[in-house]
A = this chain, B = another copy of it.
Amino acid sequence: MDKIPILRMGDLLLVTIQVDLYDRIAEALEADLVQMINKTGAQGVLIDISAVSIIDSFMGRIIGNIATMSKVLDAETVVVGMQPAVAITLVELGLPLNGVLTALNVEKGMTLLRTKIDIKYNGSDDGNTE
């Protein structure tokens, strides 16, 4: 079990991180994810880190990398389920995950992505423009 599975749900991809992201596994995840976005034309990526209770600068950087790579491939990234202690640690490490959207849980993350995708294709974020 040396690979993190990427689940496809419609035009979104879901990645649940449950193991420590060491070099090889992190590299494989990045490679798999960009390939999957390319193959499926996914519009958004949800990264669930609710099982992550300890985070370090390496893992923070990997999440940032994934978000940047996805952005280049025209997909938004939302990190969901962050534990309070992890949020504190990220700020203390000086890694506030700039450019990464966050949401409290998968459902809220999905809603956020849907809204983002909607705005992108309909050109407006309110319904009043005629």
Residues of A participating in the B interface, judged by any CB pair closer than 8 Å: 1, 3-5, 7-10, 14, 16, 18-20, 48, 50-54, 81, 105-107, 110
Contacts and interface: CB of A to CB of B under 8 A. Distances in A.
Nearest to A20: B1
Number of copies: 2
21 contacts: A1-B19, A1-B52, A1-B54, A3-B51, A4-B51, A5-B16, A5-B48, A5-B50, A5-B51, A7-B14, A7-B16, A7-B48, A7-B81, A7-B105, A8-B105, A9-B9, A9-B106, A9-B107, A14-B106, A18-B19, A19-B19
Interface of A is mostly: loop
Contact of A110 (B4, B9, B105, B110): B9
